[in-house]
Structure 1
Amino acid sequence: MVATATRSSRFGLRATPQQEAVLRRAAEITHKSMTDFILDSAYQAAEQALLDQRLFVVSGEQSRALLDLLDRPAQENEGLRDLFSRRAPWDN
């Protein structure tokens, strides 16, 4: 989340006492306010949901163009070769 952006939208939430207790404890151990913890967590979940989207609706023309691209013979791609030769950041 961008820390320098001004917050201008308001959300109202209702939680069970158990949910509130878990959220408060998690906020405490991460040294965040409840608002920051909930907003950061929701934002990360939203980003992941968008990245995990697997259904893409396209027009017939777009579908044909994609299938044409997929039917092409493989080509050398030095950028991809370089990228895949590197160690993933989370493996460091």
Structure 2
Amino acid sequence: MTTSPLRSEKLDLRLTPGAKQTLQRAAAAAQRSVSEFVLESALTSAAETLADRQSFQLDGERWEALVAALDAPPQMHPRLARLLQEPSVLEQSLAGGAG
């Protein structure tokens, strides 16, 4: 028999009576307590939200394009280089206020 980790953390929610009633109906339909239903639903949603931030999948053609872009030498962009050499708005306002 495996043991579950001890649930020692608590999360409080404030919700409308209608929202609570909806959760209660959904939990009953899933044959779970409201706490179990909310926890399972929240963890499923969290996993889906985090999935695209942890890994992504590409087909062979797109993978090759990504690898080629990462392996390619950096491109020169004269307008960007010129912009980075100009004083920023902050630097201009500080220089103007120092007199």
Bucket of the pairwise TM-score, normalised by the shorter protein: 0.5 to 0.7
**Higher relative contact order, chain-length normalized (CA < 8 Å, sep 6+):** 1
| TM-score normalised by L of structure 1 | 0.54
Q: Which consecutive residues of structure 2, in runs of 5 or more, have no partner in the other structure?
A: 55-65, 72-99
Show the counterpart of 1:74.
Answer: none
Query: What is the 5 A alignment of 1:31-46?
Result: 31-46=31-46
Q: Which consecutive residues of structure 1, in runs of 5 or more, have no partner in the other structure?
A: 55-65, 72-92
CA distance in 2: counterparts of 1:7 and 1:68, whole angstroms: 47
Secondary structure of 1:53's counterpart equals: helix
User: What is the number of equivalent residue pairs in this alignment?
Assistant: 58
- Residue 67 of structure 1: how far off its partner (Å): 4.3
More helix by share: 2
Show the counterpart of 2:22.
Answer: 22
Aligned-partner residue type, residue 33 of structure 2: S
Show the counterpart of 2:7.
Answer: 7
1:5-59 CA-partner distances (Å, limit 9, x unpaired): 21110000011111001000000011101110000000000010000338xxxxx
Aligned-partner residue type, residue 11 of structure 2: F
Show the counterpart of 2:51.
Answer: 51
Aligned-partner residue type, residue 51 of structure 2: L
| TM-score normalised by L of structure 2 | 0.50
CA distance in 1: counterparts of 2:46 and 2:15, whole angstroms: 19
